[in-house]
Amino acid sequence: MAEEMDFERQMLNRMSALIDVIQPLTNQVGRLTDGVGRYDAEFEKLHKQNNLLRQDMIELRSGQTQLKSELTQLKSDVTSRLDAITIRLEEIENTGEKNAAAIRALAADAVLQHNAILNALQESNKNDISLRELEERIVNLERRMGI
Protein backbone atom coordinates (compact mmCIF):
# COMPACT_ATOMS: atom_id res chain seq x y z
CA MET A 1 0.00 0.00 0.00
CA ALA A 2 2.80 2.38 0.94
CA GLU A 3 4.62 1.41 -2.25
CA GLU A 4 1.55 2.26 -4.27
CA MET A 5 1.26 5.62 -2.56
CA ASP A 6 4.98 6.28 -3.15
CA PHE A 7 4.57 5.27 -6.77
CA GLU A 8 1.54 7.52 -7.17
CA ARG A 9 3.36 10.40 -5.47
CA GLN A 10 6.33 9.88 -7.78
CA MET A 11 4.03 9.83 -10.80
CA LEU A 12 2.30 13.00 -9.65
CA ASN A 13 5.65 14.69 -9.07
CA ARG A 14 6.77 13.64 -12.53
CA MET A 15 3.55 14.99 -14.03
CA SER A 16 4.15 18.25 -12.21
CA ALA A 17 7.68 18.40 -13.59
CA LEU A 18 6.33 17.67 -17.07
CA ILE A 19 3.86 20.52 -16.74
CA ASP A 20 6.71 22.78 -15.60
CA VAL A 21 8.59 21.82 -18.77
CA ILE A 22 5.55 22.53 -20.95
CA GLN A 23 5.12 26.06 -19.59
CA PRO A 24 8.25 27.45 -21.33
CA LEU A 25 6.87 25.99 -24.55
CA THR A 26 3.73 28.00 -23.93
CA ASN A 27 5.88 31.07 -23.49
CA GLN A 28 7.59 30.27 -26.79
CA VAL A 29 4.18 30.11 -28.45
CA GLY A 30 3.50 33.57 -27.02
CA ARG A 31 6.74 34.88 -28.48
CA LEU A 32 5.81 33.35 -31.83
CA THR A 33 2.51 35.18 -31.57
CA ASP A 34 4.53 38.37 -31.18
CA GLY A 35 6.38 37.39 -34.33
CA VAL A 36 3.06 37.29 -36.13
CA GLY A 37 2.70 40.93 -35.08
CA ARG A 38 5.86 41.70 -37.01
CA TYR A 39 4.32 40.11 -40.08
CA ASP A 40 1.33 42.32 -39.49
CA ALA A 41 3.63 45.35 -39.61
CA GLU A 42 5.01 44.11 -42.93
CA PHE A 43 1.47 43.71 -44.24
CA GLU A 44 0.82 47.29 -43.17
CA LYS A 45 3.88 48.43 -45.14
CA LEU A 46 2.63 46.52 -48.16
CA HIS A 47 -0.76 48.16 -47.73
CA LYS A 48 0.86 51.62 -47.75
CA GLN A 49 2.87 50.72 -50.83
CA ASN A 50 -0.31 49.46 -52.45
CA ASN A 51 -1.99 52.82 -51.76
CA LEU A 52 0.99 54.61 -53.27
CA LEU A 53 0.76 52.32 -56.28
CA ARG A 54 -2.93 53.13 -56.62
CA GLN A 55 -2.17 56.87 -56.51
CA ASP A 56 0.54 56.40 -59.12
CA MET A 57 -1.89 54.52 -61.33
CA ILE A 58 -4.44 57.33 -61.03
CA GLU A 59 -1.76 59.84 -62.08
CA LEU A 60 -0.79 57.59 -64.98
CA ARG A 61 -4.39 57.48 -66.19
CA SER A 62 -4.63 61.28 -66.15
CA GLY A 63 -1.40 61.51 -68.13
CA GLN A 64 -2.71 59.14 -70.76
CA THR A 65 -5.09 61.77 -72.09
CA GLN A 66 -2.09 63.86 -73.24
CA LEU A 67 -0.68 60.97 -75.25
CA LYS A 68 -3.99 59.79 -76.66
CA SER A 69 -3.37 60.80 -80.31
CA GLU A 70 0.01 58.99 -80.51
CA LEU A 71 -0.56 56.00 -78.22
CA THR A 72 -4.18 54.98 -78.63
CA GLN A 73 -3.45 51.27 -78.97
CA LEU A 74 -0.82 51.27 -76.23
CA LYS A 75 -3.21 53.11 -73.93
CA SER A 76 -5.87 50.40 -74.18
CA ASP A 77 -3.31 47.63 -73.51
CA VAL A 78 -1.80 49.42 -70.51
CA THR A 79 -5.21 50.30 -69.08
CA SER A 80 -6.48 46.72 -69.29
CA ARG A 81 -3.29 45.37 -67.68
CA LEU A 82 -3.32 47.96 -64.92
CA ASP A 83 -6.96 47.20 -64.15
CA ALA A 84 -6.17 43.50 -63.91
CA ILE A 85 -3.22 44.26 -61.62
CA THR A 86 -5.38 46.50 -59.45
CA ILE A 87 -8.04 43.84 -59.10
CA ARG A 88 -5.44 41.18 -58.29
CA LEU A 89 -3.68 43.42 -55.77
CA GLU A 90 -6.98 44.13 -54.05
CA GLU A 91 -7.74 40.42 -53.92
CA ILE A 92 -4.30 39.67 -52.49
CA GLU A 93 -4.58 42.51 -49.99
CA ASN A 94 -8.02 41.39 -48.80
CA THR A 95 -6.92 37.78 -48.51
CA GLY A 96 -3.76 38.77 -46.65
CA GLU A 97 -5.65 40.96 -44.21
CA LYS A 98 -8.24 38.25 -43.54
CA ASN A 99 -5.56 35.60 -43.06
CA ALA A 100 -3.46 37.80 -40.78
CA ALA A 101 -6.47 38.60 -38.59
CA ALA A 102 -7.48 34.94 -38.46
CA ILE A 103 -3.95 33.84 -37.57
CA ARG A 104 -3.69 36.42 -34.79
CA ALA A 105 -7.06 35.42 -33.36
CA LEU A 106 -6.31 31.70 -33.54
CA ALA A 107 -2.85 32.11 -32.02
CA ALA A 108 -4.19 34.17 -29.15
CA ASP A 109 -7.03 31.72 -28.56
CA ALA A 110 -4.64 28.76 -28.67
CA VAL A 111 -2.34 30.34 -26.09
CA LEU A 112 -5.28 31.13 -23.81
CA GLN A 113 -6.68 27.63 -24.07
CA HIS A 114 -3.28 26.05 -23.58
CA ASN A 115 -2.63 28.12 -20.46
CA ALA A 116 -6.08 27.31 -19.07
CA ILE A 117 -5.48 23.60 -19.57
CA LEU A 118 -2.04 23.76 -17.97
CA ASN A 119 -3.40 25.71 -15.01
CA ALA A 120 -6.23 23.20 -14.54
CA LEU A 121 -3.80 20.27 -14.72
CA GLN A 122 -1.47 21.93 -12.26
CA GLU A 123 -4.30 22.60 -9.79
CA SER A 124 -5.60 19.04 -10.17
CA ASN A 125 -2.12 17.72 -9.57
CA LYS A 126 -1.69 19.83 -6.44
CA ASN A 127 -5.11 18.77 -5.13
CA ASP A 128 -4.30 15.12 -5.75
CA ILE A 129 -1.01 15.42 -3.89
CA SER A 130 -2.77 17.13 -0.99
CA LEU A 131 -5.41 14.39 -0.92
CA ARG A 132 -2.77 11.66 -0.87
CA GLU A 133 -0.93 13.36 1.96
CA LEU A 134 -4.17 13.76 3.92
CA GLU A 135 -5.07 10.10 3.37
CA GLU A 136 -1.60 9.11 4.51
CA ARG A 137 -1.99 11.17 7.68
CA ILE A 138 -5.38 9.57 8.37
CA VAL A 139 -3.89 6.08 7.91
CA ASN A 140 -1.04 6.98 10.29
CA LEU A 141 -3.51 8.34 12.87
CA GLU A 142 -5.66 5.21 12.58
CA ARG A 143 -2.57 3.05 13.12
CA ARG A 144 -1.61 5.04 16.19
CA MET A 145 -5.11 4.80 17.57
CA GLY A 146 -5.23 1.08 16.77
CA ILE A 147 -8.25 1.25 14.55
Alpha helices (runs of H) in the chain, residue ranges in sequence order: 2-64, 72-145
- pLDDT score recorded for residue 67: 63
Report pLDDT for 71. Answer: 66
> The pTM is what?
0.37
What pLDDT is stored for residue 8 in this prediction?
A: 83
Spatial CB neighbours of 110, under 8 Å, sequence gap ≥ 6: 29
Residue 65 has a CB neighbour count (10 Å cut-off) of: 8
Angstrom distance (rounded) from CA 5 to CA 134 = 12
Instruction: Please tell me the predicted confidence (pLDDT) of residue 87.
Output: 95
Domain boundaries, the chain: 34-145
The whole-number pLDDT of residue 145 equals 87
For residue 122, what are the contacts with CB-CB under 8 A and spacing of at least 6? 16, 19
Q: Please give the pLDDT value at position 7.
A: 83
Residue 146: per-residue pLDDT: 79
pLDDT tens for the chain, 147 residues: list them.
678 888 888 888 888 888 888 888 888 888 888 888 788 888 889 899 999 998 888 887 777 666 666 767 877 888 899 999 999 999 999 999 999 999 999 999 999 999 999 999 999 999 999 999 999 999 998 888 876
Question: What is the Cα–Cα distance from 83 to 80, expressed in whole angstroms?
Answer: 5
Judge whether 124 and 1 are in contact, CB under 8 Å. no
pLDDT of residue 2: 75
